[in-house]
């Protein structure tokens, strides 16, 4: 019983698979050389090095700041779109169509356009992140608005709740799970997209430093930063969004 639980806690089967992967990695890096595939040990050393020098915080911080700006703005605008969709049927149809177009637009379109518009500056990755995450967050929010239980709203009418009371007591709590889900997906996307946009023009951030490492032939650092990115992703998911959704849906 307890042994079984510990196996689960430690993800023992996953660890076993990881061990096999690392072993394979070792063999391949020995076969093809450090330039193509650096050894696990070199990557680990690189990781220790950037943590010690503090470089890891500088670049991660720069990336996260851009994400906070772009993604934060996307959430705010998405909330506005959700509100519009709630207030008017016509607005809802327009929002739907706009989001369909935005959803169909490639990341690369926004990267190229933002470089043209904003030059090689901070605004390029921020704008790209904004444009890519907006439709994701807004779509789930609009879906949430549409799924508000009409029967509960009718209950609100029976008891003559004002528009504001209905909004606060019925609409907002109905939408919160959708908002959290949308933000979770949106944040993951933001991290991936903003790092990509950082290849161009800026001199900080995980994307920049990965591309730079490639240029100076420090392949092991590309792997190091990839690991940093994965860790950031998993931590925010666990710490931020899991806590948030647990807190907000205590009543379930």
- Which residues of this protein are in contact with other proteins, per CB under 8 A? 151-152, 154-155, 157-162, 165, 169-170, 173, 251-252
Residue 133: which of 60, 75, 61, 69 has the closest Cα? 75
* Minimal distance, residue 249 CB to other proteins, in Å: 8
* Minimal distance, residue 186 CB to other proteins, in Å: 23
d(CA 41, CA 223): 11
Nearer Cβ to other proteins (5/252): 252
Would you say 252 and 84 are in contact if contact means Cβ atoms under 8 Å apart?
no
Q: How many helices (H) and strands (E) does the chain have?
A: 13, 0
Nearer Cβ to other proteins (177/188): 177
Nearer Cβ to other proteins (103/165): 165
Q: Provide the sign of the torsion angle of the four alpha carbons 235, 238, 241, 244, taken in this order.
A: negative
* Minimal distance, residue 158 CB to other proteins, in Å: 5
Q: Provide the sign of the torsion angle of the four alpha carbons 178, 181, 186, 187, taken in this order.
A: positive
Nearer Cβ to other proteins (173/188): 173
* Minimal distance, residue 151 CB to other proteins, in Å: 6
CA distances from 9 to 231, 235, 245 (A): 18, 17, 22
């Amino acid at each position: 019983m307890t042994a079984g639980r510990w196996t689960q806690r430690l993800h023992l089967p996953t660890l076993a698979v990881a061990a096999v992967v690392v072993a394979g990695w070792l063999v391949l890096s020995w076969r093809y050389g450090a330039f193509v595939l650096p050894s696990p040990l070199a990557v680990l050393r690189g990781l220790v090095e950037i943590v010690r020098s503090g470089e890891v915080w500088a670049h991660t911080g720069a990336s996260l700041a851009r994400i906070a700006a772009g993604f934060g703005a996307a959430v705010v605008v998405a909330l506005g779109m959700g509100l519009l969709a709630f207030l008017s049927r016509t607005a809802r149809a327009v929002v739907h169509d706009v989001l369909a177009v935005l959803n169909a637009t490639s990341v690369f379109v926004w990267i190229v356009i933002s470089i043209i518009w904003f030059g090689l500056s901070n605004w390029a990755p921020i704008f790209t992140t904004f444009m890519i995450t907006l439709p994701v967050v807004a779509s789930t929010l609009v879906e949430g608005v549409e799924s508000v239980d009409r029967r509960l709203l009718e209950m609100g009418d029976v008891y003559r709740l004002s528009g504001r009371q209905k909004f606060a007591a019925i609409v907002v709590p109905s939408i919160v799970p959708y908002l959290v889900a949308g933000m979770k997906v949106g944040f993951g996307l933001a991290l991936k997209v903003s790092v990509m946009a950082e290849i161009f023009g800026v001199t900080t951030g995980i994307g920049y430093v990965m591309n730079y490492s490639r240029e100076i032939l420090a392949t092991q650092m590309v792997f190091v930063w990839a690991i940093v990115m994965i860790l950031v992703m998993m931590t925010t998911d666990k710490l931020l969004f899991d806590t948030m959704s647990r807190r907000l849906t205590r009543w379930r």
